[in-house]
Amino acid sequence: MRETPRPQGTAGDAGPGLPQHRPGSASAHTTGASRSGTPHRSDGRPPHTPRGARHTDPTGHPGTLPPVPRWPVLLFSRVAGLLAVFALVTWQVVADGPLLGPDERLGLALAGRGPHVLSDLFADLGNMEVAVPALACAALVAWLRRDRREAVYAVSAMVAVPLLVVPLKLWTDRQGPLTEATGYYPSGHTATAAVAYGAAALLLAPYVRRSWMMPVAAVLLTAATSIGLVLRGYHWPLDVLASWCLAGAVLLVLREVSSRSRRRSSSRTPSCRSGPS
DSSP code of residue 197: H
The whole-model pTM stands at 0.70
In a domain, 64, yes or no: no
Q: Domain range spanning residue 75?
A: 71-264
In a domain, 107, yes or no: yes
In a domain, 218, yes or no: yes
In a domain, 235, yes or no: yes
The reported pLDDT for the residue numbered 188 is: 96
The Cα 254–Cα 158 span in angstroms is: 10
In a domain, 37, yes or no: no
Per-residue pLDDT of the chain (277 residues; tens, 9 = 90+): 444 555 454 444 444 445 555 554 444 444 444 444 455 555 555 555 555 455 555 555 555 444 544 558 888 899 999 999 999 999 999 999 999 999 999 999 999 898 889 999 999 999 999 999 999 999 999 999 888 899 999 999 999 999 999 999 999 999 999 888 999 999 999 999 999 999 999 999 988 888 889 999 999 999 999 999 999 999 999 999 999 999 999 999 999 998 887 777 766 655 444 444 3
In a domain, 75, yes or no: yes
Number of domains in the chain: 1
In a domain, 211, yes or no: yes
In a domain, 26, yes or no: no
